[in-house]
Each structure stands twice: as structure tokens, then as C-alpha cells.
Amino acid sequence: MIYPKTLKLLIVIIVALAYQNANAQYTITGVVTDAKNGDPLPFATVGLKGMNVGAQTNFEGIYVIKTKVLSDSIYVSTINYKRRMKVLDKKIFTQTIDFQLQGEAKSLDEVVVYSGENPAFKILRKLSENKNKNDRKRLNAFEYNSYSKMELDVDNLSEKFKERKVMKQIQGAIEKFEKLAGEDGKAVIPTFISETLSKYYFRENPSRKKEIILKNNIKGVGVKEGGFVSQLVGGNIFANYNFYDNYVPFLGKDIISPFGDNWKGTYKWFLSDTTNVDGHICYGMEFDPKNDKDLVFIGKAYIDTTSYALVQIDATVGKEANINFIDKIKISQELEQTSEGAWLPSKTRFLIDIAELTKNSAGMLLKMYISNKDFVVNQPKELSFYDLPIEVAEDSKEPDPKFWLEARHESLSAQDILASKLIDTVRNVPIVKTYVEIAEIVASGYKRFNKFGIGPYISLLSVNKIEGIRTRLGFKTNSDFSKEWILKGWAGFGTRDLTLKYGGEVDYIISRRHWTVAGIKHSYDLERIGLTPELIGDNKIFYAFTRWGAFSGAFYRRESEVFYKTEPTKGITFTSSLTTRGFDPLFEFQYRTHPDQGKHSPTVDHYDDTFFTFEARFAKNETFLMDGNERITLGSKRTPTVTLTYQHGMKVLNGDFRYDKFMAKVFQSFRIGTIGRSDYTLQAGYIPTALPAPLLFPHLGNETFFYNRAAFNTMHYFEFVSDKYVSLNYNHNFDGLLFNRIPAIRQLKWRLIASANVLLGSQREENKELMQEAIPVINPKHTKGELQPRYSFSGLDPNKPYIEVGYGIDNIFKIFRIQAFHRLSYLDHLSPSGKSPRPFALKASVHFSF
């Protein structure tokens, strides 16, 4: 028997349960990531099967769905990925369901049907019209606090690769990481991870940028903590992408922006949806390249319906694009509106998926996340503040986990934490240490020890007719030895000439901020006319190859120099030096000491030269990194680099000549729309004084099989010598403009290249007469051995330029370049040693480029 009070209680409970069930709400959350690399996928659509209920993932790939009615399954779909579906449990009101999606190529042509004008075009025109209001370039200056996280992994591990000795030693740790990757995730081996806090500053006019690395925590396999690594992990200097520009620079490539001036000619567009993105009602816009072999993106962006500003973008460059060694480049960016109306990047995530070079090798995965906040606009600093673009604070190293718990903008994921632990395991494996050492030698040319390095390996051995088998060994100290003093030295010996060659240098870094260095050096070596280091420049590989073979135009040179170099303000460098050089040729050589006496003048077959040099170099917006005690330029591709040089010869310190020499050089690399990228080197020189031919301007020829960008590739060594000249070396890379559109070969990713080299010069009669025969001289040193024949040192016709043109194919098997050159003038001119002219030359080179 049920009592009335009990009955009432049961009724209340039943009613309460019925009410709760009627008002029950299911909550489903999760993270959507790329199954291959673990990268979050923003803008993915997550929905319940058979129902009009769903959500979209945010910038971190997170979704939240709240609903009173639940279907039996949940799905996720997004552009360029396979659609996934999972079963739901209706008995559970709060569920966490993560998705890992497999990549899949997609073309918008399959789904887009328009009647009349594409509706996306009106929105894109509005975006262009409002660009001046929304683009960060409208700001005079801005600054913000930044947190960045970088990770480098080994991925695409084949079963055969896992069987290698190095892999077996860390297999246990890898298995833990595989479990964390989840049901669909691919195994990866973290090799580097870092966290960085920095302050970033930008000034628009003149354009200046600066990043101060405040704190960092760096852990990696083979990574030696120091200035170079600390500067790279900052991120904002390298990853401050602006999609309003016509091109987005990445890895030295210019990727066509979907919101640049050519948005209609390069991309196909689809207006997909309208959604709320952080309080902004936005148009969802999908874009797809018209030619996937071009340097273009595929992805999705959200544009504010009121201001027509770019709010978020997720852009990917696939492996179909004409980029080497890369399976994918992905850039995701979320922007925030400032008080002045312009938008700045608040979050940026980029990923580089480096392809495996062979079937059984592994690939690499570079991921970086940058979070910016506390924006301050239109408060520019003094110009001098930006002199050092990247600055690392003295106490930047901060490994304390408690500090980072408070400092980082977002918490680390479980995968991040395990990755850090795995790095400790991997970097202590002996075979890994060996691989790291080999990689360092290949990259730097030196075998590094604690405080110095031995090398460079490319100069260890050469064979030529003068020296026989030449061996050379050198060293240089590093920043562990001293952060101010740099010591360098080398010694070489030939089995045929039995002559010791040597060199030494001592440098002192006075200031790193304004890069002020003073030094003294001395050397004795065998050189060649027109192929000396100061003429060849930084092309160390070409210089090493010129030391093989016949070795014509050889001479011994004893050189001493004192120099001072400084950068008083950003982009301007001054160098001054006092140099003495001795010229002792191994070929028949003489010049008249008193040319006014004609054939009755005495002659000399060697000379000493003492001169002062002042050089001014102007390179706007050039950025440098410090690698220990060395400064590495990242170039100044979009503005000319101008170098002006003046030399004054003096009759002091055994100098035989008094003269003036003026030189100028301009280099620039620039983009020509969709046609490709060009670069040119414009040079000029003038010597008003009569001097022996080796002291004039011997023009750089190339008799090797290897291509040299700075040389005249159909010209013999020192074939022409001028006392007044102007030259132009012009090169153009069409990227994939032609070959990308030829069906039979577009998969090869070849790149058409073209070049033209022009030289206009002359040699005055007084310089020619100075080299004419007169009273011969006998040098006892030369009578002991066989001299090479006399050379002509011809001048150019001032009314007839030397011209050569070239064309070829770059990126053959991703590393080879073959270029043909035609000589169009001086086709009857003999080389200094009497060789026939070369109207045609075929050159090859090996280089790694993306």
C-alpha cells in the first residue's frame, strides 16, 4: 500500500525527471586536426547527420555543439580533406570527440555553378576598395607583445626507416608518441621545440622593423643554444605575413596572394557561407588556383560584412606547386582590429611539410605558432632604435617551467609536453650525435670543436700543374673562445712547387650593435690573374674549382692588410683598409718603368703595390642574423644594394705606384608580376693613371664547366683588361610560367631561365705601351723553372660591346641547372694564350633552392 505522502513524492520525482529530460541539452566538443602533422584545422564544418545542427572550428581547431536533440552520428568536412564521421552515444550528455582528417585534393570547379557574375567578385571588389582603411600599412607605426612556439619534427617514417639502428635506439619513446597521436595520427619524432616571448616594433616611413627577444626556452637535437637560434625562434621578423600585398614571401619564393591585384586572374572563387567570427559577421570565401603548378594558395578566408576587412584566412600551397622539397606550406592567420581601424595579426600559424628525399627516408615538419596582443599604434620610435633588427636580451634564457605557466598566451597541449620529453631521449643517443656532427660539417664547412673549427673542407685538396697535389688546412675560433676576438689561420703545400703557403688573421669586434670590426691579416699564396678572391667574391665553390687544372696566369702574392669596418646606421656600412701586395708572376711578364723612353726603358717583371681603400655600402632594409661571431645577411631583395669604392695607390711601404681607382656596383633582385623574378648587377670602374695590366680591371671569365652568375661565361680567363668599363649582368627566372602550362612536362617542375651579359670597356694607349717589350730583365728565381708564355692583356674596342646571351632549364631533378650561352661579339678574338674564341658554351651547376 502506497501512502498519500509517498505517492506525492513519486509524482514529484517523475515530473522532475520528465522536465529534466525535456530540457536536457547535449554538449559535444572536440578538436579537428590534420592526421599527418597534428596541425589544427580552422573553418572546418562539424554537424549532426540528418539535422540542421552544427558548428565551425575556431583558429585552434576547436568546436562546440549544444543541442537538445541528438542524431546517431557526427561528421566533419573541410576543403582539401576527406569527410569523416563518428558514432554518437545518446546516453551521454557531454562528449568529447576529436577528428583527425586525411588530406584530399579538391577542385572548386566540381561544385560551383553561377548564373551571371560570380557573387564573390562583388565582395572582393569591396575588399580592394577598403584596403587602404584596413591594411596595416595605413599605420605610422605599431608594436605588440608576442609569444611564439616552434617545433621541428621528423615525419613520414617508413617501416624500413624504423628498422635502422638509430631508430631502434629510440623506438620505445616513439611508440609512446604514436599512442598519443591517436587512432588516425601519423608517428612523428620531435627534434626541436622552443617557446619565446618577444616585443615587436614596426615603423612605416621609412620602413623599419625590430624584434627584441625577451625570454626563450630552447630544446633540440644538435641545437647549441646561442644568438643564431635565439633570433630564429622569434618569428615576427620572418612570419609577419600581409595578404593585402600582391605577393606573400615564403622561403625566398613569392606566392601570389588571393587578395592582391590579380585575385581574379589567378584564382577561382566561391562564396560558401556567412558566419560569426569573434563577433564579426563574415562572408566565407573559398579560393582555388586556376593553375595548381603556379605559386598560389588554396584555402578559405572570412571577410567582415561591414568593413570588408580580412578577419581570418587559412591558405595552403600543395605539393603540386612549383616548389622543391615541400609537400605543403600552410599559413593560418587571425587578425584583430586596432583603435585606428587597421587590422593586425593576432594569431598566426604556419607549417612547412618537407618531403622525404627518397622512398625509404623520412621527411621533416616545421610548425610555428605566434600569438600577439597589447597592440600600440602610431607611436613610432626614433630611427636609431631600429638599427639592430633582431636583439636578444642578455638574460633571455629561461627554462623554468613555472615562469612559462604564467607567461605563455595559451597552455601547452599534451603533445607539446610529450614532445619535449622525447627530445631529451633522442638527443642523447650516440648515433644521433654523430649524424648531427656530419650535418654541421656539411652546412658550415668546418668540423667544430669546443672553441674553434677546422676546415673548410672544400679547400682541403686540389690538383694543378703548378703546385701538383695541393693540400690546405685551416682553423677559426668561435664565440666560445671569445665574443670579441676572432683568430683565423691556414697552411697549404704543393707537392710540385714545394712552396709553403699560409695565412693568418686577427679580428676584434668593437660593437655588435653597429657591427664595428677591426682586424689585421697576412697571407702568402698562389693566385691567378682575374680570379683572385676579391674579384670572385663570395662564390667559394667557384674559387675552389679554379684551383684545378692548367692554372694559367699564376703568380705568388704576399699580402698584408689592416682594416676597419662599421655600420653607423642601419643600411649603411663603411670599410677602410691599408693593404700591401706583392706580385711575383710565373709567366713571362714585364712592364716599362719609364714608358717615355720607349724601347730603351728598363723593365721589371714583378712589382709591389700599396694602397688605401675606402668603401661605402648602402643596403636599405637589409636584415642580418648573428651566428656566434659571424654576421649572416638575409638579403635586401626588393631594393638595390649599392657599393662605392675608392682606392689610392701610394709609393710608401715599398709601393711602386701612385694611382687612383674608382669602382661602383649595384645589385638588385625584383619581381616582374607573374612573369617571374629578375636580378641584375651593374658595375663600372675607372682608372685615370697608367698602370700594368694586372692592376687594371681584368674581367672575370669562366673556363670551367660550372655556371657562375657573376662571370662572362663565354670569355676566357683575363681575355680582356680595361682601365674604364661598365658592365651589366642580367638574369631572369620565369619560375614555372612556361613549363607549368605544357601538359607533358608540367609535373617535372622545370623553370625557364634567361640571361644577358654586356660589357663596354677600353684600355688607353699609354697602358698598352707600358706593357710593350723593352730592355729585358732576368729574374734568377724564374730561371730555375719553366715560365708560362706571355699573355696579351687585350683591351676592348670602346665602340663595340662584348655581348653574350644565355638560356636554359633550372630545377632539373630539383638540384641541376643547365644553361647555354652564345657569344655575339668578338668572335675572332683569341684568348691571352692564343686559344680560339668560344662562340658557344654549355654550363651546369648544382644548387638547392625551394
The stretches of 776-830 forming alpha helices (DSSP H) are none
- DSSP H or E run through 769: helix 765-770
Q: What is the DSSP string of 142-204?
A: EEEEEEEEEEEEEE---HHHHTSHHHHTTHHHHHHHHHHH-SSPPP-EEEEEEEEEEEEEEET
Position 472 in a domain: yes
Position 838 in a domain: no
CATH number, domain of 32, equals 2.60.40.1120
pLDDT tier at 560, thresholds 50, 70, 90:
very high
Higher pLDDT, 635 or 554: 554
Amino acid 777: pLDDT: 63
Amino acid 95: pLDDT: 85
Amino acid 112: pLDDT: 52
In the predicted model, is pLDDT for residue 357 greater than 70?
A: no
Tell which of 417, 438, 459 closes a domain: 438
Domain that holds residue 537: 445-570
For the ranges 9-13, 277-281, 427-431, the lowest mean pLDDT is seen at: 9-13
- Which residues have C-beta within 8 Å of that of residue 633, sequence separation ≥ 6? 622, 623, 624
In the predicted model, is pLDDT for residue 18 greater than 50?
A: no
Position 623 in a domain: no
Residues 29 and 172 placed together within one structural domain of the fold? no
CA separation for the pair 546, 706 (Å, rounded): 10
pLDDT tier at 17, thresholds 50, 70, 90:
very low
Cα angle 182-185-186, degrees, rounded to a multiple of 5: 135
Can you point out the beta strands (E) in 714-830? 721-722, 724-733, 751-762, 802-812, 816-823
Residues 393 and 460 placed together within one structural domain of the fold? no
Residues 68 and 176 placed together within one structural domain of the fold? no
Amino acid symbol at 305: T
Tell which of 526, 551, 570 closes a domain: 570
Number of domains present in the structure of the chain:
3
Bridging pattern class, strands 676-686 and 724-733: antiparallel
Residues 521 and 471 placed together within one structural domain of the fold? yes
Residues 407 and 376 placed together within one structural domain of the fold? yes
CA separation for the pair 211, 388 (Å, rounded): 9
pLDDT tier at 784, thresholds 50, 70, 90:
very low
Q: What is the mean pLDDT of residues 618-632?
A: 79
Higher pLDDT, 188 or 102: 102
**CA 530 to each of CA 142, 279, 527, 694: distance values in angstroms, whole numbers, following the listed order:** 49, 67, 9, 8
pLDDT tier at 315, thresholds 50, 70, 90:
very high
- Please name every residue paired with 569 in a beta bridge, in sequence order, or none if there are none: 572
Higher pLDDT, 508 or 46: 508
Give me 501's grid cell: 703557403
Q: What is the DSSP letter of 113?
A: -
CA separation for the pair 642, 547 (Å, rounded): 30
- The mean predicted confidence, pLDDT, of the chain is 83
Nearest in space to 467 (alpha carbons), one of 489, 437, 499:
499
pLDDT tier at 486, thresholds 50, 70, 90:
very high
pLDDT tier at 140, thresholds 50, 70, 90:
very high
Residues 97 and 234 placed together within one structural domain of the fold? no
- Please name every residue paired with 675 in a beta bridge, in sequence order, or none if there are none: none
Q: Is 110 exposed, middle or buried (0-12, 13-18, 19+ CB in 10 A)?
A: exposed
Residues 474 and 344 placed together within one structural domain of the fold? no
Q: What is the mean pLDDT of residues 226-247?
A: 71
Residues 431 and 455 placed together within one structural domain of the fold? no
Amino acid symbol at 691: L
In the predicted model, is pLDDT for residue 216 greater than 70?
A: yes
Residues 217 and 340 placed together within one structural domain of the fold? yes
Position 378 in a domain: yes
Give me 236's grid cell: 615576427
To which residue does cell 670590426 refer? 517
pLDDT tier at 637, thresholds 50, 70, 90:
low
Q: What is the mean pLDDT of residues 717-735?
A: 92
Amino acid 62: pLDDT: 86
Position 117 in a domain: no
Nearest in space to 642 (alpha carbons), one of 617, 622, 621:
617
Amino acid 509: pLDDT: 94
**Distance between terminal CA atoms of the chain?**
86
Residues 242 and 375 placed together within one structural domain of the fold? yes
Position 151 in a domain: yes
Amino acid 1: pLDDT: 47
pLDDT tier at 187, thresholds 50, 70, 90:
low
Amino acid 502: pLDDT: 97
Higher pLDDT, 679 or 106: 679
- Which residues have C-beta within 8 Å of that of residue 270, sequence separation ≥ 6? 108, 111, 112, 120, 285, 286, 287, 288
Higher pLDDT, 137 or 80: 137
Tell which of 545, 570, 595 closes a domain: 570
Residues 365 and 483 placed together within one structural domain of the fold? no
Position 288 in a domain: no
- Which residues have C-beta within 8 Å of that of residue 512, sequence separation ≥ 6? 388, 626
Residues 217 and 142 placed together within one structural domain of the fold? yes
Position 285 in a domain: no
In the predicted model, is pLDDT for residue 639 greater than 50?
A: yes
Higher pLDDT, 258 or 358: 258
Amino acid 513: pLDDT: 81
Amino acid 783: pLDDT: 41
CA separation for the pair 722, 682 (Å, rounded): 16
The CB density around residue 746, as the number of other CB atoms within 10 Å, is: 18
In the predicted model, is pLDDT for residue 110 greater than 50?
A: no
Is-contact 78 58, C-beta < 8 A? no
Tens of pLDDT, residues 493-533: 999 999 999 999 999 999 988 889 999 999 999 998 878 88
